[in-house]
Amino acid sequence: MSLANRMAIASPQVTAICVEANEFPRLSAQFGVRSVPRTVVNRSGSFVGALPEPAFVATTLKLAGVPLDEQGAEGSGDKSELPG
Amino acid sequence: MGIIPDRVREQLQARFEGALTGPVHLTLYVKPGSSRLILPAGVGCATCEDAREIAEALRDAAPEKVTLETIDVTRDVDKASMVSDVPTIVVSSSADEGRVRFQGLPAGTEFPALIEAVERVSRKDPGLSEVSLSQLTRLTEPTEVLVFGTPT
């Protein structure tokens, strides 16, 4: 949650929205939220769990379709797709 | 009795005194019919009054740095389009930005994240490594990052 906010402060391209999952069950169901934290990028790809900064930034960029350079690729984890 | 004890308000005031360097604007989006009653979806807002208390507590902790605007989404349709649901608190360094948002009551683990967001926006300090900052410059399209959390 904090890392998404920090990315939004750093980049004018990023909007971070922290969602209280229990309060918005329909939105949570739409994105298949069964455990938290779950991070959803551009309402398409997502990942679960609190990642360290390098992995969080790299995975978010990867899900946003940004090709990673060597440093970013080192931190990137596997992405998961949202349920159909 | 409010949801934020006096002790926490005092801690907030002391913390913000050293941590805030620039202005921070909070925009709180709510709708009327607010109460703690859980109403059918789309009717009223069970947590808007608590979110208002939190937003006001942040403003009151450093009124010289933190400003607060409250928008009733049922009355201001143009501004309502900025958010998808209520309550939402938007943290920005000026009134026309708003890329750090908290949708729902920012209690539990979200409360420290909200406090940190206010501090970092005030200082314009993302607190990311040089590598991460460099990676972010590769982002050329608007990107939305939704992070789902819970109050516990």
Is residue A80 scored above 60 in pLDDT? no
CA distance, residue A83 to nearest chain B CA (Å): 16
For residue B78, the model assigns a pLDDT of 87
Chain B residues within an 8 Å CB radius of A7 = 126, 128, 132, 136, 145
Higher pLDDT, A73 or A2: A2
19-48 of B, contacting A, C-beta below 8 A: 41, 46-47
Which of A69, A57, A8 has its CA nearest to residue A77?
A57
From residue A49, alpha-carbon distances to B2, B35, B40 in Å are: 32, 33, 31
Pairing of strands B66-72, B24-30: parallel
What's the ipTM?
0.91
pLDDT tens digits along A29-54:
999 999 999 999 999 999 999 999 99
pLDDT tens digits along B113-150:
999 999 999 999 999 999 999 999 999 999 999 999 98
Q: How far apart are CA B65 and CA B67, in angstroms?
A: 7
Chain B residues within an 8 Å CB radius of A57 = 128, 132, 135-136
Mean pLDDT, rounded, for A3-31: 95
8 Å CB contact of B148 and A40: yes
Q: Note whether B27 and B69 are within 8 A (CB).
A: yes
CB pairs under 8 A between A and B: 177
CA distance, residue A33 to nearest chain B CA (Å): 8
The minimal CB distance from A13 to the residues B102, B109, B139 is found for B139
Q: How far apart are CA A27 and CA A19, in angstroms?
A: 9
What letter does residue B34 receive in the DSSP assignment?
A: B
Beta bridge partners of B28: B70, B89
8 Å CB contact of A17 and B127: no
Burial A14-50 (b: 16+ CB within 10 A, else e): bbbbbbbbbbbeebbeebbbeebbbbbbbeebbbeee
CA distance, residue B46 to nearest chain A CA (Å): 9
Strand order in the sheet with A38-41: A80-81, A45-48, A38-41, B143-149, A14-20, B100-103, B88-92, B24-30, B66-72
